[in-house]
Amino acid sequence: MKSRLILFVVLATILVTNTSFFAAIYSKSAYYIIVDKSDYELNVYDSEGWLASFPIVLGNDDLGDKLIQGDRKTPEGTFTIIAKRVHNKWCRYMALDYPTAVDVEKFNQRKRMGLIPAHAKIGGDIGIHGTWPREDYAVDRYQNWTLGCISLKNEHVKQLFNIIPVGTKITIKK
């Protein structure tokens, strides 16, 4: 009886520490991602170095930093993947924690300087996702089409989704 109890406790501990809800709160991912907007490339690294590169497309051909909601620009900075899910339109979706406190400060400073309208909103819902079904050609042709997200071919976003845990850091730069 005692050995069954010990076995149960060990199995329960393994289950809890390897479930996604536990990882989402306590993840200290060894992975990190760097998105180079100028090269249209997403690079994945782990503690030992480079793992993979994927071609991407973005929101706006301008490639500048996101200023306001609706400008279709992809934000620049360091973010964290805060959620992952299968998506009915874009294959897989990995949500970023945009806007961060740094983004809010940049946004407010730009407002004070008159660079953006006083009534503008910062936006949100930025993530990494696939393409519309059967439209991977948009990535091959570098057709920026998103509202500010990072889009990969569906086969690539599935690969990324399977290895990258919630909590992974991502740096987006021009």
Question: What are the extents of the domains in the chain?
Answer: 1-26, 31-173
The pLDDT score that the predictor gives to residue 135 is: 94
The pLDDT score that the predictor gives to residue 78 is: 98
This prediction has a pTM of 0.82
Alpha helices in the chain (DSSP H): 2-17, 20-26, 101-112, 137-140, 154-163
The pLDDT score that the predictor gives to residue 2 is: 54
Indicate the residue type of 82.
Answer: I
Rg (CA), the chain: 19
The pLDDT score that the predictor gives to residue 13 is: 43
Q: Rounded to an integer, what distance in angstroms lies between the CA atom of residue 32 and that of residue 161?
A: 13
* Local confidence pLDDT in tens for the 174 residues of the chain: 555 544 444 344 444 444 444 444 444 579 999 999 999 999 999 999 999 999 999 999 999 999 999 999 999 999 999 999 999 999 999 999 999 999 999 999 999 999 999 999 999 999 999 999 999 999 999 999 999 999 999 999 999 999 999 999 999 999
The pLDDT score that the predictor gives to residue 28 is: 57
Fold of 31-173: L,D-transpeptidase catalytic domain-like (2.40.440)
The pLDDT score that the predictor gives to residue 125 is: 95
Asked, as a colleague might, if the bond just before 133 is cis with ω within 30 of 0, I would say: no
